[in-house]
A and B are shown apart, each in its own frame.
Chain A
Amino acid sequence: MKVAFGAAADLAGHPLSREDLDAVRRFFELYLAEIQRLRELDLPDDIEPVTQVRMEPWE
């Protein structure tokens, strides 16, 4: 995990120190299961991402 994440950071153009990488890795370990569940969730094809929030009253 450490090696893979460090490589990913380099690849993304956000190289971090070993210490910073470890801190980010520990943070994601807390939430990765939640994020993974969202990744695995199947949504209907026609649901588009909200790219701009503009609220309107409901009719």
Chain B
Amino acid sequence: MPDPGWAYRSLADAAHAIEAGQASPVELTRACLDRIERLDPAVHAFVYLDAAAALAAARTAEREIRGGGYRGPLHGIPVALKDNVEVEGTPTTNGSQVFADRTAARDAAVWQRLREAGVVLLGKVHMHEVAWGVDVPPTRNPWDIGRTPGLSSSGSGAAVAAGLCFAALGTDTGGSIRIPASCCGVVGLKPTYGRVSRFGVLPHSWSLDHVGPLTRSVEDAAIVLQAIAGPDPRDHSAATVPVPDYRAELRRGIAGVRIGIPREHFFERLEPGVESAVRQALCDLEERGARLEEVSIPHIQYALAAVLVIELASASAWHERYLRDPATRGRYTPEVQVLLNAGKFVFATDLLKAQRLRQILMDEVRAALRTVDVLATPTLPLVAWQIDQTTARIGDQDEHVLHACWRYTHPFNLTGLPAVSVPCGFADGMPVGLQLVGRPFDEAAVLHVAYAYEQATPWRSQHPPDLEL
């Protein structure tokens, strides 16, 4: 590895070094490939790696940059994609044996945009089966390889945290970008629904699915979002709202920024170490000039039922053709088959009630965000759990970890609001995430507050223990 320091350096640092001629895309790509070769047998982040193609892309980028054709901060940067993002001619397995033989025939919009920005694609990273079920082989958390990196963008979180790439894309239907970001101590951004095209990304639940970046810094998330955001006529949900300069908005400082703390739900049942880290983060923000205000989202207690009903019905509807076909039906794991079967028994009346509740929640978060600039909550009520652990004791209750882990994230899939998870400390030796939520298309606000917090605290400089085998 030419410079061992590259492993945990930010994308922004690497971009600056490339632009200044102090590092080359080939050097950075080789550093990532070397690290993948040494560490991925333990981390299991990558499901598909094409070293030759990556090096070829890096050489092309290097040639372009030396020839004066520098495209911007992603030019020559090695990245990874979650395995539900289509790249023409490469496998896109959706984390499932059902799609094991599938080669994508088109490029996802997000990949097209990253490619045009000049990134170097290292490969695809693991995800939980169809963004829902088991993770085979289980991707490991670089902070403790006995623990999960979170779901379902497990490989994305683990690869970024382990320094195997400079950024990865994930998808988020109920928290699947923010949960692995929190578990792995990295930044995960779920943009506003409609900010980033989902064209070419395999659906899980149409009205809840989002695509976004996982990175080692808030500025890195802003750089990736800048490239992938914007309208796309091929995705009917993609909005035509102008895309601001996210990096330009980062350094405004947070004096006078109003941060809403929801009265209900988000601090009611969580591990003490997580609560302590998040409350300290809120104090840190207040000390830097932010104003904390209590807000109310009264119907939040019904959000779990609503998101569950919508997700079950939607996923079963999309997978129906594969469930009908005897050749593919048996390739789902039993865990996912149960969920897909369950989705067939969601009553239309329940689905409509869930969608009416969704309107109520949208109205309530709008009212809450009328008086504050962002909301702040824990990202998860617990830290990354052991790979074979199914329940956790939270408060005075034993709870299934999969039930608990998305408790604070799924409300913002239902409401479509932008939400970022930024590292805010540790509990039980594992990272804790602070979730910041903003108004529609105001990713700049959540990134701005997250950046101010990140710059004022030491968490960004902490990295997983030595993973050398």
* A residues apposed to B, CB below 8 Å: 5, 8-9, 12, 14, 16, 20, 23-24, 27-28, 30-31, 34-35, 37-39, 41, 43, 47-58
A29 and B161 alpha carbons, distance in the complex (Å):
37
A47/B359 in contact, CB under 8 A: yes
Once A30-B400, A55-B441 are accepted as A-B contacts, the answer to whether A24 and B359 lie under 8 Å apart by CB is no
* B residues apposed to A, CB below 8 Å: 192-195, 207, 237, 239, 241, 299, 301-302, 304-306, 308-309, 334, 337-339, 341-342, 344-345, 349-350, 352-360, 362, 366, 369, 400, 403, 416, 439-442
Of B304, B341, B369, B400, most A-chain CB atoms within 10 Å: B341
A-B residue pairs in contact (CB < 8 Å), sample of 8: A9-B345, A20-B337, A28-B345, A37-B305, A43-B356, A54-B237, A55-B195, A57-B440
A38/B306 in contact, CB under 8 A: yes
CB distance from A19 to the nearest CB of B (A): 9
Once A38-B306, A55-B239, A58-B439 are accepted as A-B contacts, the answer to whether A49 and B352 lie under 8 Å apart by CB is yes
B345/A12 in contact, CB under 8 A: yes
B356/A48 in contact, CB under 8 A: yes
A8 and B347 alpha carbons, distance in the complex (Å):
11
Extra pairs beyond A27-B342, A38-B306 (8, CB < 8 Å): A12-B344, A12-B345, A14-B341, A20-B338, A23-B337, A23-B341, A41-B357, A48-B356
B305/A31 in contact, CB under 8 A: yes
B403: chain A residues at CB < 8 Å are: 30
Once A20-B337, A47-B359 are accepted as A-B contacts, the answer to whether A35 and B344 lie under 8 Å apart by CB is no
A57/B441 in contact, CB under 8 A: yes
A56: chain B residues at CB < 8 Å are: 239, 241, 440
A55: chain B residues at CB < 8 Å are: 192-195, 237, 239, 416, 440-441
CB distance from B268 to the nearest CB of A (A): 15
Once A14-B345, A43-B360, A48-B359 are accepted as A-B contacts, the answer to whether A37 and B338 lie under 8 Å apart by CB is no
